[in-house]
Chain A
Amino acid sequence: KAGVTQTPRYLIKTRGQQVTLSCSPISGHRSVSWYQQTPGQGLQFLFEYFSETQRNKGNFPGRFSGRQFSNSRSEMNVSTLELGDSALYLCASSSRVVASTDTQYFGPGTRLTVL
């Protein structure tokens, strides 16, 4: 079974631009969560999508948004990029079955650099 895939793997943008990152979950997984990882703030939860609906959101400004499609693929968008948005963006998928061992499996990440 293929793992979580993220595209692109690397991105370089300039301040003020916007960017869209893509995530394809493991086949059969219906939940996609996004995380931001920076040296200063560590790993922080951005949001989770399940059945095309945002289920939970972290403490990030409205410039960060996302969506999920009917095939469970997800995109996240960052508008009006700031230098501080430079980070590794990780996507994770899970089956979201209500079971004690539901686990999030991560993709390789997209490394975004804002100049």
Chain B
Amino acid sequence: AQKITQTQPGMFVQEKEAVTLDCTYDTSDQSYGLFWYKQPSSGEMIFLIYQGSYDEQNATEGRYSLNFQKARKSANLVISASQLGDSAMYFCAMREGRNTGFQKLVFGTGTRLLVSP
């Protein structure tokens, strides 16, 4: 069965610094997709970044990048130049069967990030 592990319940970072949020995963599937979502206190899940298991390059989206190490089964999120608005819960998620359209996401327990001035 799929499993996502986020070992950091909470992280603190100062504004303008970079921060790495850890995510490891476990799957027997060769084809899968990895996602990061941000959930502010309002509750909405905001999509940040995606990495496919066959993608050779690490994904980047603006200030977000995903440090994908397939052999170690890790998909860490790096936020550069943190902003106060980055304070939120961050969830790592995995979808099996990248090319099948299979839509079930399995989520980790999340990391609460607090950005201080």
Interface residues, chain A, CB within 8 Å of chain B?
31, 33, 35, 42-43, 45, 48, 50, 55-56, 58, 88, 90, 92, 94, 96-109, 111
Q: Is the CB of B105 within 8 A of A45?
A: yes
Q: How far is the CB of A50 from chain B (nearest CB, A)?
A: 8
- Whether B44 contacts A106 by the Cβ 8 Å rule is yes
Residues in chain A near residue B47, CB distance under 8 A: 103-106
- Which residues of the partner chain A approach B50 to less than 8 Å between Cβ atoms? 101, 103
B42 lies within 8 A of chain A by Cβ: yes
Q: Are A104 and B105 in contact (CB under 8 A)?
A: yes
> Measured between C-beta atoms, what is the minimum distance from B107 to chain A in Å?
4
- Docked pose: A108 CA to B104 CA in angstroms: 19
Contacts A90-B45, A107-B44, A109-B44: A102 and B101 contacting too (C-beta < 8 A)? yes
Distance between Cα atoms of A100 and B93 in the complex (Å): 15
What CA separation (Å) do A107 and B45 show in the bound complex? 7
Closest-CB distance, A93 to chain B (whole angstroms):
10
Judge whether B28 is part of the interface by a CB distance below 8 angstroms.
no
**Complex interface: chain B residues within 8 A of A97 (CB):** 101
Chain A residues whose C-beta falls within 8 Å of the C-beta of B43 in the assembled complex: 88, 90, 108-109, 111
